[in-house]
Amino acid sequence: MPARDEILQANADYAARFAAQGLAAAPSRRLAVVTCMDARLDPAGFLGLAPGDAHVVRNAGGLVTDDALRSLAVSHWLLGTEQALVIGHTDCGMLSFANDDLRGRIGPPADGMDFLPFGDLEESVRAAVRRIAESPLLPTSFAAAGFVYDVQTGALRAV
């Protein structure tokens, strides 16, 4: 069965037993999470989050990009979040290439594009936390903390 059909069947099963009607858009834990799009990461699972608990922003590398900051500003100013967790992970693909590698695969449309690879996982997380702390889009009271998730053990460690 094609993946699209599997997904639609899974959604039909989910919708048939859906019980999360009426959740507020504002996260009940007043928490936002910025993490990687890596398919091995299940932030709700490894953070013990239920639907409605937190906003989760995902992108390649779990980076606090301009777009992630935009989402955090909306999350804070319109929906009441008070803190963010930045969670990188071991064996991240963003550690495994240079811009020129990916530009070479894509060709001219990617000329000059920065895909934001990084060489030091912990420093990437620290830089993301600093970017939140220094952002003029968020108040100084908005807290941020960084962690690394271990894809082999499921454990978090503070950075």
Q: Where are the domains of the chain?
A: 26-158
pTM: 0.95
pLDDT recorded at residue 114 = 97
Tokens of 131: 């970017």
CATH number corresponding to 26-158: 3.40.1050.10
Looking at residue 1, what is its pLDDT? 81
Residue 140 identity (one-letter amino acid): T
- For residue 113, the Cα-to-chain-centroid distance in whole angstroms is 21
Residues counted in the chain: 159
Q: Which residues of the chain have pLDDT under 70?
A: none
User: How far apart are the C-alpha atoms of 86 and 2, rounded to whole Å?
Assistant: 34
With both helix axes pointing from N to C terminus, report the angle between 66-79 and 121-134 in degrees, rounded to the nearest 10: 50
> Which residues, including other chains, have CB under 8 Å from residue 157's CB and lie 6 or more apart?
147, 148, 150
- What does the alpha-carbon distance between residue 69 and residue 132 come to, in Å, rounded to a whole number? 7
Neighbours of 89 (CB within 10 A): 23
Strand partners, 145: 85
The pLDDT value recorded for residue 156 is 98
Instruction: From 91, 31, 99, select the one nearest 61 (Cα to Cα).
Output: 91
